[in-house]
Structure 1
């Protein structure tokens, strides 16, 4: 039978493990509306709606996200812009129906290759300090090298038990060498040339419950930024977040410039 002292120690450990003080996996709360391009894709659940995936505003009426967020269509989902807290009635909040959904035609559900999608909102958004377009890398642009610091953000799970934050979280992570992510003990052949993998190990001594920073469930569809420009879309990692050999996987946006321009009607020099 466990002693009272042992039970107290176990309780403190569990409380620390499930702490909601950090975000994503090992990240932090973003300053309110400091990432005005962020989108929350929400689905009805009874009389309520819940955050399901992320996205980001790339043009007047367009949001970029991941195919695996809406693989079978919009099905009544809403896109919410201009929010920091998912529960508070913020004056900056704008809610949209999905007018069009364009999933990449070569998306592979077996390994999430070509995991990129475009959502056309039912109307243009009202630009403000809380809702703005973000630039994304086009063909010919320079993607981050191994060990480069990149940023990601979202309202995804804080741990592998699905605890979700109410406010936007962010993390600074590092690009992992592609040849490492292609190793059989990482992702093997499922990792393709259309992908970047990234996370960040907590430096020793590490005082965090999670030993690294990483994206997690619910962050999918959100951005990976390098020097303020979106270079990737949060796609897939392992069955669990924050594992050393299962970094987050991000779709390389610059590989899809022609497809994106064709849908949004952008000129090649736009």
Structure 2
């Protein structure tokens, strides 16, 4: 019978092998603090503690856009934090809100994350500052990115397949993947719909033929995908197959939901940048 120490070592080797073979999430960089002032952290409250669960982004003075699947049992015990860079350090830029209303798209399909878009109405209007600002969202009739075009995203999601989390906001540039690939059976098959964009960044590690990739992961859900500074997508199920080459991140195309969004939010005042 192997010793306890030998068994622990064997388990560690197995875990390392699994990570190595699954192209674990690599890359991204820490964002300049508050350079993405629209970013929101949706946090679960337990006593005096709050923990980051999902991302979101500010689209109106009292509205945050995010993903439906971040709320499997509704909005209970959650708060929204704006003006945040660090998950652990106190920052006087932060504004903390209760969720007054949660609007989930009625056509959302949990089996494949189709129509994964939600709106949060905050309990009060935000205080617009240099660290808290509204971002533009692509509307119906606008131009979405096409295959190989660069888009960018940000979040506090996992940095590897073991769930390690960054302390500070990270950002990432990825490329749109041909939807014909994403609809193939060895990618997502019929789970992939016309309401989705898939994207990742694949590269060869220096000195190696083995491909690596950069991608969104668990905890990034609900965050924005931007094309030329305008939000075109919402991080949807990028976290399910983190780092696997044939499982790019999937993003909900926001311009497909303009009428639904307008019906909830109504006309929004123009908010000048700080």
Aligned length: 254
Partner residue of 1:4?
none
TM-score for the superposition, normalised by structure 1: 0.88
The whole-number CA distance in structure 1 between the counterparts of 2:211 and 2:165 is 15
Q: 1:168 to 1:210 in 2, by over 3 A?
A: farther
The whole-number CA distance in structure 1 between the counterparts of 2:157 and 2:133 is 21
CA deviations 1:174-210 (Å, max 9, x no partner) are: 0000010000000000000000000000245278x98
Counterpart contact for 1:81–1:94, Cα < 8 Å: yes
Gaps of 5+ in 2: 1-8, 269-274
The whole-number CA distance in structure 2 between the counterparts of 1:76 and 1:186 is 36
The whole-number CA distance in structure 2 between the counterparts of 1:218 and 1:151 is 16
Is 2:262 the partner of 1:261?
A: yes
CA RMSD of aligned residues (A): 2.5
Shift of the alpha carbon at 1:238?
A: 6.3
Is 2:62 the partner of 1:61?
A: yes
Counterpart contact for 1:25–1:215, Cα < 8 Å: no
The whole-number CA distance in structure 2 between the counterparts of 1:203 and 1:63 is 37
Shift of the alpha carbon at 1:242?
A: 1.2
Gaps of 5+ in 1: 1-6, 19-23
The whole-number CA distance in structure 2 between the counterparts of 1:35 and 1:210 is 30
Partner residue of 1:49?
50
Partner residue of 1:179?
180
Counterpart contact for 1:25–1:216, Cα < 8 Å: no
Superposed, which structure 2 residues align to 1:124-139 within 5 Å? 124-139=125-140
The whole-number CA distance in structure 1 between the counterparts of 2:114 and 2:189 is 13
Runs of 4+ that moved beyond 4 A:
none
Q: 1:172 to 1:89 in 2, by over 3 A?
A: same
The whole-number CA distance in structure 1 between the counterparts of 2:244 and 2:47 is 34
